[in-house]
Amino acid sequence: MAGTLFFGSPIGLAAGGTAMLLDLRAIAFPDTQFRASFARPLAGTPSGVNLCGQQSPLPPHTRAAFIWASRVPNIGPPPIHVGAADFIPAAQKTPLLVEVPQPGWKYLDHAREWALVSGDKKFKVPVVKLGNQKALEIDLTKVKLPPGDYKLAAFWDWTPLEANGIVHVRPLNDFKEAHFDPNSQDRLLAGSGKVAATLRGSDFEFISKIELQKPNDEFATPESVRFKLPKGLREGVQDHMDVQIDTGDLDPGRYKLLISQQDGKSHAVDFKVLSNPPKIDNLPIVVNQGAVAQHFVLKGARLEQVSKLEAPGAILDLGAASADQTERSVTVELKSAPQPGTELPVKAYIDGRNAPLSFPAALEVIGPLPVITSTKLSLPKGMPIAARQDEFPSGYTLNALLDVKNIERKSVLRLACADGAGEHTDLRIGEQGSGWSLTQLSPDQLFVAFDTTGLPAGCVLQAVIDNHSKGSSKPFTLARMLLVPQIDSFTVADTPPQNGTRQYQFTGENLELIEKLGWDDQSGLEVPGLPVPLRGPGLKQSIQIGLPDPPSLDTVVYVWLRGDKQGRATTINAPVLPPEPPPQILETPDSSIPPSATPDPASQHQQ
């Protein structure tokens, strides 16, 4: 600019106010014509130059003076290499690491008119040298620059300058799709300490800070979270990153990660801290070959978290967990017929977890279950009141023949009431106790003798064959215990019948069980009131009821015990009815006989 002002139009245009400088040129260099030239170093000499300029003829009495420009400082354009972190976010002010040798780095701010160039498109951008970082700060806050790949260019004096490498401009991510990968989410357990987890689903290359926040707690201060990018900050698209979550003081529940980039805005990523997984203590689940459906009770802790169980070749149906979550029933149905000794893995799907828990050899197939197929009871003889097919009188010894499949020498026969009342008795094959004995008559038959005195009335006595570790049979009902009234006598009153009925009386014990009496199994009459206690030892009672006369002398009485729909035949015959009283003769006075006369017996008989 000074040369232009001093030397005038041969060099450039001089603005107004330069007349003095033009005059100074004429005074200092009279009869001189200045010609522009370009200087090139002279090969073979340390300081010589070649001048390239115009050599046309000069006007008379004029000499030529060649002039050229020299850089201050006198160095050429420095080479610039873009560093590894060559990805910058759009609309942000970002430092770009560069490699520039000395002394070019010292004078790099001499470059001007910086721009990002893509093809024939050129976008001027403000660039500032950051001396303490060996970086160039590129300001895109006021430049509408579309994402893409660009070359960084400038001018070094009048020489174009272009950096080696590509500057990749990318938009900032909103992290709407960011999430923990399934395996990482499953490792985030409350109280487990520092857990390494992986985030996926977004581009994490521009992340500058991550914090953990407890939701719904306005007084909670976000805690800093350590993180690591697989490549590094601004070193290219990175679709995952690792973070370290300290769950030592975290309760199970939902939390947020606040992810910040260099724009200072935070983006929330929801995740869960899980409670400890369920624990199953009594594996394997033992099932028998050939059984359609079998029941098993899982025991452990936090069993309500299990939503589903799966095993190859089997269907496992879960029941509800117990109140304390330590027990849970499961029904197992084998879809195939695996051989005894087969072990199958089981997968447990847990609420809130992505991958199931795997339990190898958690389902064991053993031999077939024992089965009670039929039974034959021997009823006591001489019972006054008949017992039906599914009943057995309490207090008698029950003799039964059981047909059993898959029985073993060490099998145990368990006898108990279906509702759990009364005594529970375990009978071993070939042994006997004070009130029982169990004998194996053949490979598939057992004979049992059992004193039913200790069983309550109404007990539904069931039998189960237990083969110990190989499982138990389904309960098989032997009989319903029937408390039978004791009948000592059945009499009829001496009084004559009234309204077609006579008064009959039962004496004995447990007569309160009798609801109706009759002469057949259909037409019974209800017993009025409760039994009347009788004097003397024992619990003797009596009941009275009005009945019509029996149809014949060999008729037996029928009894309805409470709850019966049909009368029961007894061995008690109808009592002998009292004799009928003689008929009474009514005398009528005869007016033809004088009152003082004595009647003739013959005539009286005829009358």
| Residues 6 or more apart in contact with residue 125 via CB below 8 angstroms | 114, 115, 116, 138, 139, 140, 143, 145
Strand partners, 282: none
Task: Tokens 């610039």: give the residue.
Answer: 80
Computed over its alpha carbons, how large is the radius of gyration of the chain?
57
- Give per-residue burial for 311-327: e unless 16+ CB within 10 Å, then b: beebebebeebeeeeeb
Give the pLDDT band of residue 606 (cuts 50, 70, 90): very low
**DSSP characters over 16-77:** TT-HHHHHHHHHHSTTEEEEEEEEEEPTTSSS-EEEEE--PPPPTT-EEEEE----SS---P
Closest CA to 169 of 231, 93, 88: 88
- Could you tell me the residue ranges of all domains in the chain? 2-67, 81-170, 179-273, 282-366, 371-482, 486-573
Determine the Cα–Cα distance for residues 140 and 147; give it in Å rounded to an integer: 11
Strands lying side by side in the sheet with 135-139: 81-82, 93-99, 135-139, 127-130
Note the pLDDT of residue 337: 83
* CATH superfamily assigned to domain 371-482: Immunoglobulins (2.60.40.10)
Asked, colleague to colleague, whether 81-170 and 371-482 share their fold, the answer is: yes
Strands 460-466 and 371-378 come out as unpaired
Distance CA 509, CA 24 (A): 155
Domain 81-170: CATH architecture, name and number where available: Sandwich (2.60)
Pair 505, 511: CB distance under 8 Å = no
Most confident of the ranges 9-13, 124-128, 529-533: 124-128
- Check if the beta carbon of residue 174 is closer than 8 Å to that of residue 266: no
pLDDT tier, 19 (very low <50, low <70, confident <90, very high otherwise): low
Q: Which two tokens stand for residue 557?
A: 């009485």
Say if CB 448 and CB 398 are below 8 A apart.
yes
Give 275 or 553, the one with higher predicted confidence.
Answer: 275
Q: Does position 588 have pLDDT exceeding 80, yes or no?
A: no
| Nearest C-alpha neighbor of 509 from the set 559, 482, 545, 543 | 543
pTM of the model: 0.58
> pLDDT for 439-494, tens place per residue?
999 999 999 999 998 888 889 999 999 988 777 888 999 999 998 899 999 999 88
CB atoms within 10 A of CB 427: 21
Q: Is 77 left (phi over 0), alpha (psi -120 to 50) or beta?
A: beta
Domain 282-366 class in CATH: mainly beta
Structure tokens at 128: 């500032």
Q: What is the pLDDT of residue 7?
A: 53
Beta bridge partners of 461: 417, 479
CATH, range 179-273: 2.60.40.10
Residue 10: the pLDDT is 47
Q: What is the DSSP string of 506-561?
A: EEEE-GGGEEEEESSSS--EEPPSPPEE-SSSS--EEEEEEEPPPSSTTPEEEEEE
The mean pLDDT of 269-277, rounded to a whole number, is 94
Structural contact between residues 557 and 570, judged by C-beta atoms closer than 8 angstroms? yes
pLDDT tens profile 311-339? 999 999 999 999 999 999 999 999 888 88
What is the DSSP code string of 389-449?
Answer: TTEEETTSEEEEEEEEES--TT-EEEEEETTS-S--EEEETT-B-SSEEEEEEETTEEEEE
Averaged pLDDT score across all residues of the chain = 88
Highest mean pLDDT among 13-17, 67-71, 152-156, 467-471: 152-156
pLDDT in tens, 415-430: 999 998 887 899 999 9
pLDDT of residue 525: 93
- pLDDT bracket for residue 560 (50, 70, 90): very high
Q: What is the mean pLDDT of residues 232-240?
A: 96
Q: In a 10 Å sphere around its CB, with 0-12 CB exposed, 13-18 middle and 19+ buried, how is residue 32 labelled?
A: middle
CA nearest 567: which of 505, 511, 524?
Answer: 524
Per residue in 365-378, pLDDT (tens digit) is: 988 888 999 999 99
Give the pLDDT score at 14. Answer: 40
Return the minimum-mean-pLDDT range out of 3-7, 94-98, 399-403: 3-7
